Structure 1
Amino acid sequence: MVAYFVTCARGLEPLLAGELVALGGADVELGRGGVWTRGDTALLYRASLWLRTAVRILRPVFGGPVRSTDELYDAVRSIDWFEFMSPDHTLAVDCNVRDSAITHSQYASRRVKDAICDQFRDRVGRRPSVDTERPMVGLNLHVYRNHATLSLDASWDSLHKRGYRPVQTRAPLNEALAAGLLLHAGWDPATPLVDPLCGSGTFCIEGSWLALDRPPGLLRKWFGFQGWPDFDRGLWAAVREDARLGVRPHLSAPIVGSDGRADAIEFARGNAHAAGVGNLLRFDRLDVRDARPPDGPPGVLACNPPYGERIGEEAELVGLYRTLGDVFGTHWRGWRVFVFSGNDNLAGEVGLPVRGSTPFFNGKIPCRLWEFET
């Protein structure tokens, strides 16, 4: 079995670990910003297709102390790269450097690339070429406090890029984070899901895929491992086909989004169509003050209102948060109400009793998922 480090947004690690256990990952262990696991090729393919909260799946090939780019070059040169690629492969190196003697990420990437190419040139007289858009073998270099980890990137493009949202509205909610928040909320797909500030429809679309048991990677055209020399086309086709046959055709309960902005509703409907669920979801142009529960039993309301990242915006948003509290407390009794916000002061303006709050990160912004009693 091979060791993998699966990255995610901070706060999602326990949920990601649960997903990996369910997929059959061995030796699952939480890390900072990700989860360690071990598994075979089939696990890698299933995880790439099914993980909802992951960002990347990395297969480490080197880890050790480095204090200079020369030390980094020597360490990378010592690896037998013929095990992972040939001169006919293309490669690229993505690098992140933090709190280390090595300070220039682009130069560090170049030294890794040089070490690999020099090894091939010396041994066979030819070297791999570079393709930064879609390399056959993508590498991820992470240097933190003078410790370098170099990994094969089995994803390359972030796994949150499901393939249904080509246009980003302002301050979007990341797909993997949205799915993680719904998992954390414990939403039961047999009950309704509503987002009265739906924006581009991410909560609703991710919720529908959860309810339909549809893997989030089914629309993706490319994963990094598809360029690896040991890529098993037959196994990958079987994993995809097995997943495709298990997708349910209908929702058990309504999933509804609304927003006061016409462009947001247009984006949401377009994204839902691209996600293959346009005929299953409802998106209405509606002011949040007019949002009402759908017919049937209560379910989960989840929303991600703006939270004033810029100076002066917070004061402008106080009224919105107070309106949310008034509307939820008056019209949504019996529902489980969740508000995801990066501003604790604004969340306090909702004015409803707090059942709980959990910290997460939206990119680099510390946020909380607040649950309010109605």
Structure 2
Amino acid sequence: MNNNTFTLVAKTFFGLEELLAEELESLGANNVQVLKRAVSFSADKELMYKSCLWLRTSLRIIKPIAEFQAEDEHQLYSEIQKIDWSQYLDKEGTLAVDSTVNSNIFRHSKYVALKTKDAIVDQFRDKFGVRPSVHVSSPDLRINLKISNKDCILSIDASGDAMFKRGYRVQSVKAPMNEVLAAGLLKHAGWTPDQPLIDPMCGSGTILIEAALMAKNVAPLSFRNIFGFMHWPDFDQKLWADIKADSVSQQKDIDDLSIKGSDISLQSIQAARENIAAANLEDDIIVSRKTFSEAKPQTDYGFLITNPPYGERLEDAQINAFYSKFGDQLKQEFNGFDAWIISSSQEALKNIRLRPSRRITLYNGSLECKFMKYEMYKGTKKTKFDNADN
């Protein structure tokens, strides 16, 4: 890391902060500090680019550029106008403002975002006679304002689009799992490529795809072509090209990777296959249309990680019976497996009728969930490498 360092903040979901900190440390980040739903760290331009490309459990990476206090909307406007915005945005560029507010003074996040936008475009109009325009979905500069009481932190977004938008999802289904959460589940579970992985309710294949990308050491954002930092005036095209090329050289081929998924829905399987193809993983993941009771492992060890239907995807009257049958299937067919299940329904999880060895609180969107581990194996846990020695 060179001497031109600055602070970045990587945002994430509740419950994934420690995993994100570990990822950052593995990339060489210094001064890593775990926050609430975020991790701060020191970086230079190279590490910022690498973070946007490599972090699996980050939602966004933002660069704080100003901290100040504001007593009212007029002081907020004034403080924002003190920044020379031409160093971050061309006068004919586009911008968008996201805001989060926890304050007795500022009560409406949309109004705060509007005042921030006004301060910026008014500065350009006064200086250059023209003003940038707003583009909510894909701006040249995305600005983040966080207000806690009077304290304001203004940041610019290095990632651009949210980082769960990997670039490989071409088809979706109802209530798809967020890619960042899927990566977090795999890391929390401790799955490794030497262990078979099964998802018997795979939906559009997110858990399976994230697992294969991890196993093959494919940078999760390698399918994306546009990042926020590319619109910044100091964007280094050559450095980015070198980082991308280096990431490709680090990819691995694994001949005996065992990642399988199934789902009762033909639409889900078709979506999963299209997403798998978009991620160039057709040779690494097998999916088929089956009911969960037909999903039986071909080994006596491995991991089952799944997001069963609940809440919006299944009527309340059906949930208990469904989970009860799923628990029976685990006991009958998955001896030797670590079974990990995420659900927002505590009542449904009770109907599995197995004692969990771990409970982790996570969020799937706005739903508070429990990620439960059920140890189905007896005796010493095996790996395929153990079998190879016999």
Fold in common (TM above 0.5): yes
| Structure 2 match to 1:194 | 198
Residue 166 in 1 paired to residue 170 in 2?
yes
Q: Which of 32, 35, 38 does residue 31 from structure 1 map onto?
A: 35
> Offset at 1:65?
2.8
Q: Distance in 2 between matches of 1:12 and 1:4?
A: 17
Instruction: Name the CA shift for 1:146/1:362 in 2 (closer, same or farther; >3 Å).
Output: farther
Amino acid aligned to 2:265: R
Instruction: Name the CA shift for 1:100/1:224 in 2 (closer, same or farther; >3 Å).
Output: farther
> Offset at 1:236?
0.4
| Structure 1 match to 2:67 | 63
Residue 300 in 1 paired to residue 303 in 2?
yes
> Offset at 1:128?
2.9
1:157-178 per-residue CA deviation (whole Å, 9 max, x = no partner) reads 1100111223331121110000
| Structure 1 match to 2:109 | 105
Amino acid aligned to 1:301: L
Q: Which of 134, 138, 148 does residue 138 from structure 2 map onto?
A: 134
> Offset at 1:117?
2.4
| Structure 2 match to 1:143 | 147
Q: Where in structure 2 are the equivalents of 1:242-261 lying within 5 Å?
A: 242-261=246-265
Q: Secondary structure at the match of 2:7?
A: strand
1:332-372 per-residue CA deviation (whole Å, 9 max, x = no partner) reads 11111100111122111111121111111111111111001
Q: Is the 8 A contact 1:212 1:251 kept in 2?
A: no
Pairs aligned (count): 372
Q: Which of 46, 63, 69 does residue 42 from structure 1 map onto?
A: 46
Q: Is the 8 A contact 1:91 1:137 kept in 2?
A: yes
| Structure 1 match to 2:350 | 348
Q: Is the 8 A contact 1:273 1:279 kept in 2?
A: no
Q: Which of 332, 335, 352 does residue 333 from structure 1 map onto?
A: 335
Q: Secondary structure at the match of 2:339?
A: strand
Deviates more, 1:81-90 or 1:363-372: 81-90
> Offset at 1:251?
4.8
| Structure 2 match to 1:207 | 211
Amino acid aligned to 1:50: W
Deviates more, 1:40-49 or 1:353-362: 353-362
Q: Distance in 1 between matches of 2:17 and 2:322?
A: 31
Q: Secondary structure at the match of 2:106?
A: coil
Q: Is the 8 A contact 2:171 2:274 kept in 1?
A: no
Q: Secondary structure at the match of 2:139?
A: coil
| Structure 1 match to 2:57 | 53
1:75-132 per-residue CA deviation (whole Å, 9 max, x = no partner) reads 1011222332342433221223344422333332222122122223333444333333
Q: Distance in 2 between matches of 1:22 and 1:39?
A: 13
If the length of structure 1 is used for normalisation, what is the TM-score?
A: 0.95
Q: Identity of aligned pairs, percent?
A: 38
Q: Distance in 1 between matches of 2:319 and 2:242?
A: 50
> Offset at 1:309?
4.9
Q: Is the 8 A contact 1:135 1:227 kept in 2?
A: no
Q: Secondary structure at the match of 1:54?
A: coil
Q: Is the 8 A contact 2:257 2:284 kept in 1?
A: no
| Structure 2 match to 1:231 | 235
Q: Secondary structure at the match of 2:22?
A: helix
Amino acid aligned to 1:289: S
| Structure 2 match to 1:276 | 280
| Structure 1 match to 2:380 | none
Instruction: Name the CA shift for 1:66/1:20 in 2 (closer, same or farther; >3 Å).
Output: same
Q: Distance in 2 between matches of 1:114 and 1:151?
A: 16
| Structure 1 match to 2:320 | 318
Unaligned runs of 5+ in 2: 377-390
Q: Which of 217, 222, 235 does residue 218 from structure 1 map onto?
A: 222
Residue 358 in 1 paired to residue 360 in 2?
yes
